[in-house]
Amino acid sequence: MVREKHIKAQGISIVLCGQAGMGIQTVEGILTGMLKLAGYNVFATKEYMSRVRGGNNSTEIRVSSKPVSAYIDRIDILVPLNKGAISHLRDRISADTVIIGEAELLGDEVSGDKLKFVETPFTKIANDLGNKIYSNVVATGTLAGLLGMKLDEVCEYIKRAFSTKAADMISNNVKAAEAGFRLAADVSTKADIKISISPDAGVKDQIIPSGADAIAIGAMAGGCNFVSAYPMTPSTSVLSFMAKHGRDSGIIVEQAEDEISAINMAIGAWYCGARAMVTTSGGGFALMVEGVSLAGMLESPVVISLGQRPAPATGLPTRTEQADIELALYAGHGEFPRIIFAPGTLEQAFYLTARAFNLADKFQMPVFVLSDQYLVDSYYNTAAFDVSKVKVEKYVVKTATDYKRYEITPDGISPRGIPGFGKGLVCVDSDEHDAEGHITEDLGLRTRMVDKRLRKLESAKAEVIEPQLYPNCKYKNLVVCWGSTYPVVKEAIELLGKSDTSLLHYSQIYPLHPQTADYLSKAKRVVIVEGNATAQFAKLIKLHAGFDIEHKILKYSGLQFSVEEVAVALKKILK
């Protein structure tokens, strides 16, 4: 790993590492929740192995006086929970990293090594309270104390977090947090830790959703009332959120027997007048490809939440990557239009998912919300989503007796009726068809129908979302990115402090914004940042905008980009 001392992201970075099943998520959830309620800006993300127990998983929690929404390499405080945790994170540990833990658990990883290690008896304190399961809450209390939280706030949050448990368990967890909190002073002295983070008054009224939550809530706001899916990491968390809240929100959530059934259910739901979505990942979506083509021929709306992960085949099922642009763009045999969104922030995940339903309905085509494991599993405090800004737009028509489902129109958009709403027959067919929806082998009509379907893409281009330019329109260097890399690249550019460098982020990658070539040609040097091996978005830009991006920063190890590595790579290119 390349480090430069002057490239240092703001705030404090805390990392918890241990085997699956050791309660890392418990500490993460409690600590981030209490920090947010106390008014601190918080960001958290995780990397984990595809196993129920064992291995080494880690969670990063950034705490800051100012908003933070990106992953960094630096570790200020490390809490290793088992032997192997330090080795797992060796490349991220520096001489300044404070490691708090138990030498007995960590073994020779801390003996004789030049690490800033502070013995902290989490397990002993927990055993004194009656059970070692309390050790995670002891650690939570210590971290809360190091960050300068108030003891009464910590205890109150612990009571709330365990409110459904038995009274003695609530009491012991509070005692564990208090004991851990008292340890903080000793740890601070031994490690010479000085943390100065101020609460931010604006955090109080904010929310702290994950990317999965934002996509699911966006779907609900967009009028989604039917979800069908077969569980698959990382998209399962979107499905789970909607299943949890489906009954209260009037949503039918169906776990299908496989992905083929899932997409066909969704297409059928749209045919009947519902607003439907499928959630899946690359391997599952591969099974849906025939269904996507069916939607193209039927001119059926369908929203597809596609969470990317490393492939081919099963690949790294719990890691992250941005390598499914071409899969989403070219999925389905034949030629038919589609729209692809790629949100880069939680706010974009909410609003773009809601928008996906309106555009699918309006243009009668598949609309993708392309996310990835990093975006789906990350969360940070953000302004509450404004549901009042989302308008559910429905384009279903009441049919007359002479209704023609596939009437040829100048913009390619035929009136879409649904069975039972009007007097007309709503006939659809997977074979080529005439205006009424009946099978045809009239080759001249075939050509006209293909042209009609493709004209819808030209209509959709009128509503393409403009890429976001930051910080200004006067630049010598332009860094292009898309999807979840946005917060990381944005913070990297801020750290470099180069006034002649701007960022161009695409949250809609297809159709490509028509002014793309204008943005790129203004720059003396253009760099693209992508989480794949072949620069798929750069190829898309070359194909549709005619601009060949020379400088590429690519990553496909299964881990997300960090602020520091992007900053260092950009510094080399832009020197």
pLDDT (tens digit, 9 = 90+) per residue, 462-489? 999 999 999 999 999 999 999 999 999 9
CA distances from 299 to 337, 392, 449 (A): 9, 20, 11
Residue 55: pLDDT band (50, 70, 90) is confident
Say if residue 103 is in the same domain as residue 44: yes
pLDDT value of position 51 = 79
CATH of the domain at 500: 3.40.50.920
Find the helix or strand (DSSP H, E) in which 308 lies. Answer: strand 302-308
Task: Enumerate residues 6+ apart whose C-beta is below 8 A from 275.
Answer: 222, 223, 224, 225, 226, 301, 303, 357, 361, 392
Q: Could you say which DSSP state residue 101 is in?
A: E
The sign one gets for the Cα dihedral 152, 155, 161, 165 is: negative
Say if residue 171 is in the same domain as residue 279: no
Q: Is residue 4 part of a domain?
A: no
Q: What is the arithmetic mean of pLDDT over 537-553?
A: 98
Q: Look over the chain and give the mean of its residue pLDDT values, rounded to a whole number.
A: 95
Residue 139 has pLDDT above 60, yes or no: yes
Say if residue 340 is in the same domain as residue 476: no
Phi, psi of 309 (to 5 degrees): -150, 165
pLDDT value of position 558 = 97
Say if residue 174 is in the same domain as residue 217: no
Q: Is residue 463 part of a domain?
A: no
The count of structural domains within the chain is 3
Q: Which residue range(s) make up the domain with 330?
A: 211-389
pLDDT value of position 5 = 52
Dihedral-angle region of residue 246 (phi above 0 means left; psi in -120 to 50 means alpha; beta otherwise): alpha
Q: Is residue 536 part of a domain?
A: yes
Say if residue 190 is in the same domain as residue 216: no
Q: Is residue 408 part of a domain?
A: no
CATH of the domain at 349: 3.40.50.970
Token match 């329109």: residue?
Answer: 473
CATH of the domain at 59: 3.40.920.10
Residue 332 has pLDDT above 90, yes or no: yes
CA distance 330 to 326: 6
Say if residue 83 is in the same domain as residue 216: no
Q: 308 with 372: CB under 8 angstroms?
A: yes
| Domain-terminating residue out of 359, 389, 419 | 389
pLDDT value of position 387 = 94
Say if residue 220 is in the same domain as residue 171: no
| Domain-terminating residue out of 389, 421, 438 | 389
Round to the nearest angstrom and report the end-to-end CA distance of the chain: 20
Say if residue 228 is in the same domain as residue 354: yes
Q: How far is CA 300 from the centre of its chain?
A: 26
Say if residue 275 is in the same domain as residue 162: no
pLDDT value of position 508 = 98
Q: Is residue 450 part of a domain?
A: no
Residue 564 has pLDDT above 80, yes or no: yes
Say if residue 293 is in the same domain as residue 161: no
Neighbour-count burial for 399-432, b at 16+ CB within 10 Å, e otherwise: beeebbbbeeeeebbbbbbbeeebebebbbbeee
Q: Could you say which DSSP state residue 421 is in?
A: S
Say if residue 263 is in the same domain as residue 157: no
Residue 84 has pLDDT above 60, yes or no: yes
Say if residue 149 is in the same domain as residue 221: no
Q: 487 with 562: CB under 8 angstroms?
A: no
pLDDT value of position 112 = 66
CA distance 413 to 407: 8
Q: Is residue 259 part of a domain?
A: yes
| Domain-terminating residue out of 150, 165, 196 | 196
Structure tokens at 69: 């929404």
